[in-house]
Structure 1
Amino acid sequence: MDSTGRLALMFLPLLMIGAAPGHLVQEHIGNNAEICLLPPDEGPCRARIPSYYYDRYTQSCRQFIYGGCKGNANNFETWAACHEACRRIEKVPHICRLEVNENICEEPREMYFFNLMTMTCEKFMSVGCSHNGNQFSDKASCMDFCAPKKTLKKGKKKKMPRLRFA
């Protein structure tokens, strides 16, 4: 077999699946949180392929340079493919998207922060004198502030409460 034939056999599996590694996620449906909330990963190769990832902090699709191998599933060929896969990710307030801040300068106390990966409030021991805002004294106030709010579907109107005047 000549070198052209060997080269064709090497790329046959990629041709059969129809996509390069890292671009396979475009067929997923649902809210894709397990994919879209991953950090961007260009991988170890150096192909310099313009690609898109969902940025969990800006809550939008952004361009990055993909190396062409490995990386992770938060990697899309086009902005439209990224948007389609990740548009159902529920939006949360800015401070709830910040990492937990654990500066040490006072007695430890139990606090809660909103974890964007799990979309829930989690306990941690605060030992900081300053924080970034993603810190709440109890789980209920954390969830009230940070949990994604359901939006009304088009065509459905929210009923206003009846008011009575004396």
Structure 2
Amino acid sequence: MISTLIIVFISLLGLSGVFSNVADFDCFERPDTGVGRAYFEVYAWQASNRTCTKFIYGGMFGNRNRFETSEECSLSCHDAVLRHQLDFKATHRYSAVNRLYELAQIALHLEKVDNGYFKLIAQPSEKVLGITNENDGTDIALQQPNNTQTQHWDIIPTGEKDYFRIKTRTMPYRHVDYLFLQVAHTDEIHINLGRRDNDYLGQQWRFV
């Protein structure tokens, strides 16, 4: 009984307070059921057709594209409209340029796969950027192409012209949330994965 009450309390805490300070980036995210055993009927903004759709939220984690009512969803996100932001040319060689560290660039092709996700194909090697789980840690590596979702990425407009966030399609091993491609600066600048940080410009990219 006590554990059930704790789960309910945490779930309610996760649902409350998520309806203010919603950014355009939040509104471009896909509906995310999160984790947990709660059953909340909430609404998510669909930027492709400017509608709000109902889905079930589990009570923990997920993203901020969830609202208690359809009206609140529309009011918060009506300016987030998906037009041609993701119309990448499959044969074009892009450079993914980091917003915070512009010297950090990845030459690649963008290949659209199912449900609007993308493969990031590095040039000139033609290897695909994917998630690895070596030594019990999560990292990224250039891999031979395969059909697993660990090589699929969600490219999300930020609401600012030309800038995007690049998110894993799957939850990496031993994680309960999705991760974002970023440039981190510790002893040296390197590209890796990090948890969502809406204020960190190192998680934003533009394609030129």
Q: TM-score range by the shorter chain?
A: 0.3 to 0.5
**Structure number with higher helix proportion:** 1
**Structure number with higher strand proportion:** 2
TM-score when normalising by structure 1: 0.46
Structure with max Cα Rg: 1
